Structure 1
Amino acid sequence: MMKKRSASADNICAVAVVHFSERGYDASSLSDIAEQAGMRKASLYSHFAGKDALFLDVFADALAEEQAFMDGCFADEAVLTTPGGQQAGALYCDRMAQRYAESAHLRFLLRTAYLPPTPLRVEVGTGYEALLAQLQRHYVKSLARLAPALPPQRIELYAQAYLGIVDSLHVELIYAGGAALQQRHAALWQILSDSLALATQHA
Protein backbone atom coordinates (compact mmCIF):
# COMPACT_ATOMS: atom_id res chain seq x y z
CA MET A 1 0.00 0.00 0.00
CA MET A 2 1.30 3.46 -0.89
CA LYS A 3 1.97 5.84 1.96
CA LYS A 4 -0.23 8.93 2.19
CA ARG A 5 1.22 11.87 0.25
CA SER A 6 1.10 15.56 1.01
CA ALA A 7 -1.04 17.92 -1.04
CA SER A 8 2.13 19.27 -2.67
CA ALA A 9 3.23 15.76 -3.67
CA ASP A 10 -0.23 15.08 -5.10
CA ASN A 11 0.03 18.27 -7.14
CA ILE A 12 3.46 17.25 -8.45
CA CYS A 13 2.06 13.87 -9.52
CA ALA A 14 -0.93 15.49 -11.23
CA VAL A 15 1.45 17.66 -13.27
CA ALA A 16 3.91 14.82 -13.86
CA VAL A 17 1.36 12.36 -15.29
CA VAL A 18 0.55 14.78 -18.12
CA HIS A 19 4.24 15.57 -18.65
CA PHE A 20 5.28 11.90 -18.72
CA SER A 21 2.34 10.92 -20.96
CA GLU A 22 3.43 13.48 -23.55
CA ARG A 23 7.21 13.17 -23.36
CA GLY A 24 7.91 9.73 -21.95
CA TYR A 25 10.56 8.97 -19.37
CA ASP A 26 13.77 9.90 -21.17
CA ALA A 27 12.63 13.26 -22.53
CA SER A 28 10.97 14.41 -19.32
CA SER A 29 12.51 17.11 -17.16
CA LEU A 30 12.11 17.43 -13.40
CA SER A 31 12.86 21.13 -13.77
CA ASP A 32 9.90 21.52 -16.13
CA ILE A 33 7.64 19.48 -13.85
CA ALA A 34 8.65 21.56 -10.83
CA GLU A 35 8.02 24.80 -12.72
CA GLN A 36 4.58 23.63 -13.88
CA ALA A 37 3.81 22.61 -10.28
CA GLY A 38 4.73 26.11 -9.10
CA MET A 39 7.89 25.28 -7.17
CA ARG A 40 11.64 25.18 -7.46
CA LYS A 41 13.33 21.93 -8.47
CA ALA A 42 14.97 21.74 -5.04
CA SER A 43 11.52 21.74 -3.45
CA LEU A 44 10.45 18.83 -5.65
CA TYR A 45 13.33 16.80 -4.23
CA SER A 46 11.90 17.25 -0.74
CA HIS A 47 8.97 15.09 -1.91
CA PHE A 48 10.64 12.66 -4.33
CA ALA A 49 14.20 11.33 -4.35
CA GLY A 50 14.49 11.67 -8.13
CA LYS A 51 12.89 10.96 -11.48
CA ASP A 52 12.57 7.21 -10.86
CA ALA A 53 10.74 7.71 -7.57
CA LEU A 54 8.36 10.25 -9.08
CA PHE A 55 7.77 8.11 -12.16
CA LEU A 56 6.92 5.05 -10.07
CA ASP A 57 4.51 7.03 -7.89
CA VAL A 58 2.76 8.33 -11.00
CA PHE A 59 2.71 4.80 -12.43
CA ALA A 60 1.08 3.51 -9.24
CA ASP A 61 -1.51 6.29 -9.51
CA ALA A 62 -2.21 5.33 -13.12
CA LEU A 63 -2.65 1.67 -12.23
CA ALA A 64 -5.09 2.60 -9.44
CA GLU A 65 -7.05 4.99 -11.68
CA GLU A 66 -7.40 2.49 -14.51
CA GLN A 67 -8.21 -0.33 -12.09
CA ALA A 68 -11.08 1.80 -10.77
CA PHE A 69 -12.27 2.54 -14.32
CA MET A 70 -12.12 -1.15 -15.22
CA ASP A 71 -13.97 -2.13 -12.05
CA GLY A 72 -16.67 0.42 -12.86
CA CYS A 73 -17.16 -0.93 -16.38
CA PHE A 74 -17.63 -4.47 -15.15
CA ALA A 75 -19.87 -3.34 -12.29
CA ASP A 76 -22.14 -1.67 -14.85
CA GLU A 77 -21.99 -4.82 -16.96
CA ALA A 78 -23.04 -6.98 -14.01
CA VAL A 79 -26.65 -5.78 -14.31
CA LEU A 80 -26.92 -6.93 -17.94
CA THR A 81 -28.84 -10.14 -18.51
CA THR A 82 -28.44 -10.75 -22.25
CA PRO A 83 -27.52 -14.46 -22.50
CA GLY A 84 -24.82 -15.95 -24.69
CA GLY A 85 -21.74 -14.13 -23.45
CA GLN A 86 -21.39 -11.66 -26.33
CA GLN A 87 -21.75 -8.74 -23.90
CA ALA A 88 -19.02 -9.98 -21.56
CA GLY A 89 -16.27 -7.36 -21.43
CA ALA A 90 -18.00 -5.18 -24.03
CA LEU A 91 -18.44 -2.03 -21.96
CA TYR A 92 -14.74 -1.79 -21.14
CA CYS A 93 -13.83 -1.96 -24.83
CA ASP A 94 -16.67 0.35 -25.89
CA ARG A 95 -15.56 3.05 -23.43
CA MET A 96 -11.84 2.71 -24.07
CA ALA A 97 -11.41 5.36 -26.79
CA GLN A 98 -13.22 8.07 -24.83
CA ARG A 99 -11.30 7.11 -21.71
CA TYR A 100 -8.01 7.44 -23.57
CA ALA A 101 -8.97 10.90 -24.83
CA GLU A 102 -9.98 12.08 -21.36
CA SER A 103 -7.47 10.34 -19.08
CA ALA A 104 -3.81 11.33 -18.93
CA HIS A 105 -3.40 8.36 -16.60
CA LEU A 106 -4.41 5.90 -19.33
CA ARG A 107 -2.27 7.64 -21.96
CA PHE A 108 0.68 7.53 -19.57
CA LEU A 109 -0.01 3.92 -18.58
CA LEU A 110 -0.13 2.59 -22.14
CA ARG A 111 2.91 4.55 -23.28
CA THR A 112 4.82 3.26 -20.27
CA ALA A 113 3.63 -0.35 -20.62
CA TYR A 114 4.55 -0.60 -24.30
CA LEU A 115 7.75 1.50 -24.08
CA PRO A 116 8.96 1.00 -20.50
CA PRO A 117 12.01 2.90 -19.24
CA THR A 118 14.93 0.48 -19.18
CA PRO A 119 15.81 1.02 -15.50
CA LEU A 120 12.18 0.49 -14.45
CA ARG A 121 11.23 -2.31 -16.83
CA VAL A 122 10.66 -4.91 -14.09
CA GLU A 123 8.47 -2.65 -11.94
CA VAL A 124 6.42 -1.54 -14.93
CA GLY A 125 5.99 -5.07 -16.26
CA THR A 126 4.94 -6.42 -12.88
CA GLY A 127 2.36 -3.69 -12.32
CA TYR A 128 0.87 -3.86 -15.80
CA GLU A 129 0.64 -7.65 -15.81
CA ALA A 130 -1.21 -7.49 -12.49
CA LEU A 131 -3.72 -5.10 -14.05
CA LEU A 132 -4.24 -7.43 -17.02
CA ALA A 133 -4.68 -10.37 -14.64
CA GLN A 134 -7.49 -8.51 -12.90
CA LEU A 135 -9.06 -7.73 -16.28
CA GLN A 136 -8.96 -11.43 -17.11
CA ARG A 137 -10.63 -12.30 -13.81
CA HIS A 138 -13.38 -9.77 -14.49
CA TYR A 139 -13.99 -11.21 -17.95
CA VAL A 140 -14.03 -14.82 -16.74
CA LYS A 141 -16.58 -13.95 -14.05
CA SER A 142 -18.77 -12.04 -16.49
CA LEU A 143 -18.67 -14.70 -19.20
CA ALA A 144 -19.38 -17.47 -16.70
CA ARG A 145 -22.47 -15.56 -15.55
CA LEU A 146 -23.76 -14.79 -19.05
CA ALA A 147 -22.91 -18.18 -20.58
CA PRO A 148 -23.07 -20.67 -17.69
CA ALA A 149 -23.19 -23.67 -20.03
CA LEU A 150 -19.63 -23.05 -21.26
CA PRO A 151 -17.03 -25.31 -19.61
CA PRO A 152 -14.30 -23.59 -17.56
CA GLN A 153 -11.53 -24.42 -20.03
CA ARG A 154 -13.55 -22.82 -22.83
CA ILE A 155 -14.12 -19.71 -20.73
CA GLU A 156 -10.38 -19.43 -20.10
CA LEU A 157 -9.77 -19.76 -23.85
CA TYR A 158 -12.17 -16.90 -24.57
CA ALA A 159 -10.54 -14.86 -21.80
CA GLN A 160 -7.20 -15.11 -23.60
CA ALA A 161 -8.87 -14.05 -26.85
CA TYR A 162 -10.45 -11.10 -25.03
CA LEU A 163 -7.07 -9.99 -23.68
CA GLY A 164 -5.76 -10.19 -27.24
CA ILE A 165 -8.52 -7.85 -28.39
CA VAL A 166 -7.77 -5.40 -25.57
CA ASP A 167 -4.07 -5.49 -26.43
CA SER A 168 -4.83 -4.81 -30.09
CA LEU A 169 -7.08 -1.87 -29.21
CA HIS A 170 -4.43 -0.44 -26.90
CA VAL A 171 -1.91 -0.50 -29.76
CA GLU A 172 -4.39 1.24 -32.06
CA LEU A 173 -5.01 3.91 -29.42
CA ILE A 174 -1.30 4.66 -29.17
CA TYR A 175 -0.43 4.62 -32.86
CA ALA A 176 -3.63 5.32 -34.82
CA GLY A 177 -7.00 5.89 -33.18
CA GLY A 178 -10.06 7.21 -35.01
CA ALA A 179 -11.47 5.13 -37.85
CA ALA A 180 -8.69 2.54 -37.67
CA LEU A 181 -9.51 1.85 -34.03
CA GLN A 182 -13.24 1.54 -34.74
CA GLN A 183 -12.66 -0.85 -37.64
CA ARG A 184 -10.30 -3.04 -35.62
CA HIS A 185 -12.71 -3.07 -32.68
CA ALA A 186 -15.73 -3.97 -34.83
CA ALA A 187 -13.92 -6.74 -36.73
CA LEU A 188 -12.38 -8.44 -33.71
CA TRP A 189 -15.54 -8.18 -31.66
CA GLN A 190 -17.61 -9.69 -34.48
CA ILE A 191 -15.30 -12.69 -34.65
CA LEU A 192 -15.42 -13.18 -30.87
CA SER A 193 -19.20 -12.77 -30.78
CA ASP A 194 -19.78 -15.22 -33.64
CA SER A 195 -17.57 -17.79 -31.96
CA LEU A 196 -19.37 -17.35 -28.64
CA ALA A 197 -22.77 -17.66 -30.30
CA LEU A 198 -21.73 -20.93 -31.93
CA ALA A 199 -20.14 -22.27 -28.75
CA THR A 200 -23.16 -21.53 -26.57
CA GLN A 201 -25.48 -23.22 -29.07
CA HIS A 202 -23.51 -26.44 -28.77
CA ALA A 203 -22.67 -26.24 -25.06
Structure 2
Amino acid sequence: MSGQRLKEAALPLFAEQGYDGTALSEIAKAVGIKTPSIYAHFASKEALFLEIYRDVMRHELVVLGEIAQETHATVEDELHAFFYKVTDFNSDPEVKRFFQRAIFFPPQSLATQMREEMTTYEALTSESIGNILLRKLDEAQKEKWIYVFYCLLDGLSLEHEIYSAADFAKRRDAAWEALAALL
Protein backbone atom coordinates (compact mmCIF):
# COMPACT_ATOMS: atom_id res chain seq x y z
CA MET A 1 0.00 0.00 0.00
CA SER A 2 1.37 3.39 -0.92
CA GLY A 3 0.45 6.95 -0.14
CA GLN A 4 -0.04 7.48 -3.88
CA ARG A 5 -2.66 4.74 -4.03
CA LEU A 6 -4.48 6.32 -1.09
CA LYS A 7 -4.46 9.70 -2.84
CA GLU A 8 -5.78 8.12 -6.05
CA ALA A 9 -8.63 6.53 -4.10
CA ALA A 10 -9.37 9.67 -2.08
CA LEU A 11 -9.40 12.19 -4.93
CA PRO A 12 -12.65 11.04 -6.58
CA LEU A 13 -14.33 10.72 -3.20
CA PHE A 14 -13.31 14.23 -2.16
CA ALA A 15 -14.25 15.50 -5.64
CA GLU A 16 -17.74 14.06 -5.46
CA GLN A 17 -18.57 14.29 -1.76
CA GLY A 18 -16.31 17.08 -0.52
CA TYR A 19 -14.00 17.01 2.44
CA ASP A 20 -16.69 16.83 5.11
CA GLY A 21 -18.71 14.24 3.18
CA THR A 22 -15.82 11.81 2.81
CA ALA A 23 -14.89 9.51 5.67
CA LEU A 24 -11.43 8.00 6.02
CA SER A 25 -13.18 4.64 6.28
CA GLU A 26 -14.47 5.09 2.71
CA ILE A 27 -10.97 5.78 1.46
CA ALA A 28 -9.60 2.79 3.35
CA LYS A 29 -12.34 0.56 1.94
CA ALA A 30 -11.59 1.78 -1.60
CA VAL A 31 -8.01 0.50 -1.31
CA GLY A 32 -8.80 -2.56 0.78
CA ILE A 33 -7.20 -1.60 4.08
CA LYS A 34 -8.39 -0.80 7.58
CA THR A 35 -8.83 2.88 8.42
CA PRO A 36 -5.96 3.06 10.96
CA SER A 37 -3.54 1.96 8.22
CA ILE A 38 -4.01 5.33 6.52
CA TYR A 39 -2.08 6.93 9.40
CA ALA A 40 1.05 5.07 8.31
CA HIS A 41 1.04 7.40 5.27
CA PHE A 42 -0.78 10.54 6.38
CA ALA A 43 -0.98 12.13 9.81
CA SER A 44 -4.63 13.05 9.33
CA LYS A 45 -7.47 13.44 6.87
CA GLU A 46 -6.41 17.08 6.58
CA ALA A 47 -2.86 16.06 5.61
CA LEU A 48 -4.19 13.69 2.94
CA PHE A 49 -6.52 16.36 1.55
CA LEU A 50 -3.78 19.00 1.49
CA GLU A 51 -1.38 16.71 -0.32
CA ILE A 52 -3.99 16.00 -2.98
CA TYR A 53 -4.70 19.73 -3.24
CA ARG A 54 -1.01 20.46 -3.79
CA ASP A 55 -0.72 17.64 -6.32
CA VAL A 56 -3.65 19.07 -8.27
CA MET A 57 -2.12 22.57 -8.29
CA ARG A 58 1.18 21.12 -9.54
CA HIS A 59 -0.69 19.18 -12.20
CA GLU A 60 -2.46 22.32 -13.40
CA LEU A 61 0.83 24.24 -13.54
CA VAL A 62 2.35 21.46 -15.67
CA VAL A 63 -0.60 21.69 -18.06
CA LEU A 64 -0.10 25.45 -18.36
CA GLY A 65 3.61 24.89 -18.95
CA GLU A 66 2.80 22.57 -21.82
CA ILE A 67 0.83 25.33 -23.51
CA ALA A 68 3.80 27.67 -23.17
CA GLN A 69 5.97 25.07 -24.94
CA GLU A 70 3.66 24.90 -27.95
CA THR A 71 4.27 27.06 -30.99
CA HIS A 72 1.57 29.63 -31.74
CA ALA A 73 1.41 32.03 -34.67
CA THR A 74 0.18 34.98 -32.62
CA VAL A 75 -0.30 36.13 -29.05
CA GLU A 76 -4.03 35.76 -29.59
CA ASP A 77 -3.58 32.14 -30.65
CA GLU A 78 -1.49 31.39 -27.57
CA LEU A 79 -4.00 33.03 -25.24
CA HIS A 80 -6.83 31.23 -27.01
CA ALA A 81 -5.07 27.89 -26.42
CA PHE A 82 -4.45 28.85 -22.79
CA PHE A 83 -8.07 29.89 -22.21
CA TYR A 84 -9.57 26.80 -23.80
CA LYS A 85 -7.17 24.48 -21.99
CA VAL A 86 -8.02 25.83 -18.54
CA THR A 87 -11.74 25.86 -19.31
CA ASP A 88 -11.74 22.26 -20.57
CA PHE A 89 -13.52 20.71 -17.62
CA ASN A 90 -13.97 17.39 -19.41
CA SER A 91 -10.28 16.51 -19.33
CA ASP A 92 -9.38 15.06 -15.95
CA PRO A 93 -12.92 15.69 -14.67
CA GLU A 94 -12.28 14.35 -11.17
CA VAL A 95 -9.18 16.52 -10.84
CA LYS A 96 -11.09 19.57 -12.05
CA ARG A 97 -14.04 18.87 -9.76
CA PHE A 98 -11.75 18.33 -6.78
CA PHE A 99 -9.98 21.63 -7.52
CA GLN A 100 -13.26 23.51 -7.91
CA ARG A 101 -14.64 22.14 -4.67
CA ALA A 102 -11.40 22.83 -2.81
CA ILE A 103 -11.23 26.42 -4.05
CA PHE A 104 -14.88 27.35 -3.63
CA PHE A 105 -15.64 25.28 -0.51
CA PRO A 106 -12.41 24.59 1.36
CA PRO A 107 -12.61 22.65 4.60
CA GLN A 108 -13.08 25.17 7.42
CA SER A 109 -10.00 23.96 9.27
CA LEU A 110 -7.81 24.36 6.17
CA ALA A 111 -9.37 27.43 4.55
CA THR A 112 -6.70 29.96 5.54
CA GLN A 113 -3.80 27.71 4.58
CA MET A 114 -5.42 26.71 1.29
CA ARG A 115 -6.15 30.32 0.35
CA GLU A 116 -2.51 31.21 1.00
CA GLU A 117 -1.36 28.35 -1.21
CA MET A 118 -3.92 29.35 -3.86
CA THR A 119 -2.45 32.84 -3.85
CA THR A 120 0.94 31.37 -4.72
CA TYR A 121 -0.60 29.18 -7.43
CA GLU A 122 -2.49 32.15 -8.87
CA ALA A 123 0.68 34.27 -8.88
CA LEU A 124 2.45 31.58 -10.94
CA THR A 125 -0.52 31.30 -13.30
CA SER A 126 -0.72 35.09 -13.63
CA GLU A 127 2.97 35.20 -14.43
CA SER A 128 2.45 32.68 -17.25
CA ILE A 129 -0.42 34.68 -18.69
CA GLY A 130 1.36 37.97 -18.08
CA ASN A 131 4.45 36.87 -20.00
CA ILE A 132 2.26 36.25 -23.02
CA LEU A 133 0.25 39.45 -22.62
CA LEU A 134 3.26 41.74 -22.25
CA ARG A 135 4.09 41.02 -25.89
CA LYS A 136 0.90 42.88 -26.77
CA LEU A 137 -0.33 44.99 -23.83
CA ASP A 138 1.10 47.44 -21.34
CA GLU A 139 1.25 46.59 -17.62
CA ALA A 140 -2.10 48.21 -16.70
CA GLN A 141 -3.94 46.53 -19.56
CA LYS A 142 -2.27 43.21 -18.71
CA GLU A 143 -3.49 43.38 -15.12
CA LYS A 144 -7.05 44.20 -16.21
CA TRP A 145 -7.05 41.32 -18.72
CA ILE A 146 -5.86 38.87 -16.06
CA TYR A 147 -8.58 39.97 -13.62
CA VAL A 148 -11.27 39.50 -16.26
CA PHE A 149 -9.73 36.13 -17.20
CA TYR A 150 -10.04 34.85 -13.63
CA CYS A 151 -13.62 36.10 -13.29
CA LEU A 152 -14.59 34.33 -16.50
CA LEU A 153 -12.74 31.17 -15.48
CA ASP A 154 -14.51 31.05 -12.12
CA GLY A 155 -17.89 31.65 -13.75
CA LEU A 156 -17.32 29.03 -16.41
CA SER A 157 -16.20 26.48 -13.86
CA LEU A 158 -19.61 26.79 -12.22
CA GLU A 159 -21.56 27.01 -15.48
CA HIS A 160 -19.97 23.77 -16.65
CA GLU A 161 -21.79 22.03 -13.82
CA ILE A 162 -25.14 23.68 -14.61
CA TYR A 163 -25.59 23.80 -18.39
CA SER A 164 -25.64 21.24 -21.17
CA ALA A 165 -22.44 20.72 -23.13
CA ALA A 166 -23.84 22.72 -26.06
CA ASP A 167 -24.92 25.65 -23.87
CA PHE A 168 -21.62 25.61 -22.02
CA ALA A 169 -19.72 25.69 -25.33
CA LYS A 170 -21.70 28.76 -26.42
CA ARG A 171 -21.01 30.49 -23.11
CA ARG A 172 -17.32 29.63 -23.22
CA ASP A 173 -17.02 30.91 -26.80
CA ALA A 174 -18.80 34.14 -25.82
CA ALA A 175 -16.50 34.55 -22.81
CA TRP A 176 -13.45 34.10 -25.05
CA GLU A 177 -14.76 36.66 -27.53
CA ALA A 178 -15.26 39.20 -24.74
CA LEU A 179 -11.81 38.48 -23.33
CA ALA A 180 -10.15 38.64 -26.74
CA ALA A 181 -11.78 42.02 -27.34
CA LEU A 182 -9.57 43.39 -24.54
CA LEU A 183 -6.53 42.63 -26.66
TM-score where L is the length of structure 1: 0.81
Task: Give the Cα separation in 1 of the matches to 2:54 and 2:179.
Answer: 32
Cα 1:195/1:74, change in 2 over 3 Å: same
> Is the CA contact 1:17–1:58 (under 8 Å) kept in the aligned structure 2?
yes
Q: Which runs of 4+ in 1 moved over 3 A?
A: 96-101, 174-177
Aligned pairs for 1:42-57 (under 5 A) are 42-57=36-51
Q: How many equivalent pairs are there? A: 183
Offset of residue 98 of structure 1? 4.2
Confirm or deny that 1:22 pairs with 2:20.
Answer: no
Hey, which of these two has a bigger chunk of helix by percent?
2
Q: Which amino acid aligns with 1:170?
A: S
Confirm or deny that 1:91 pairs with 2:81.
Answer: yes
Confirm or deny that 1:109 pairs with 2:99.
Answer: yes
Indicate the SS of the match to 1:81. Answer: coil
Q: 2:174 aligns with which of 187, 191, 194?
A: 187
Confirm or deny that 1:58 pairs with 2:49.
Answer: no
TM-score where L is the length of structure 2: 0.89
Taking only the aligned residue pairs, the percentage that are identical comes to: 25
Cα 1:170/1:67, change in 2 over 3 Å: same
CA-based RMSD = 2.0
Q: Which amino acid aligns with 1:18?
A: P
Q: 2:72 aligns with which of 80, 84, 90?
A: 80
Structure number with bigger Rg: 1
- Return 5+ residue gaps in structure 1 as ranges: 1-6, 197-203
- Return 5+ residue gaps in structure 2 as ranges: none
Deviations 1:78-127 (A, max 9, x none): x2132xx4334321322345454424222201111011111111122122
Task: Give the Cα separation in 1 of the matches to 2:78 and 2:45.
Answer: 39
Task: Give the Cα separation in 1 of the matches to 2:112 and 2:33.
Answer: 31
Confirm or deny that 1:140 pairs with 2:134.
Answer: no
Offset of residue 133 of structure 1? 1.8
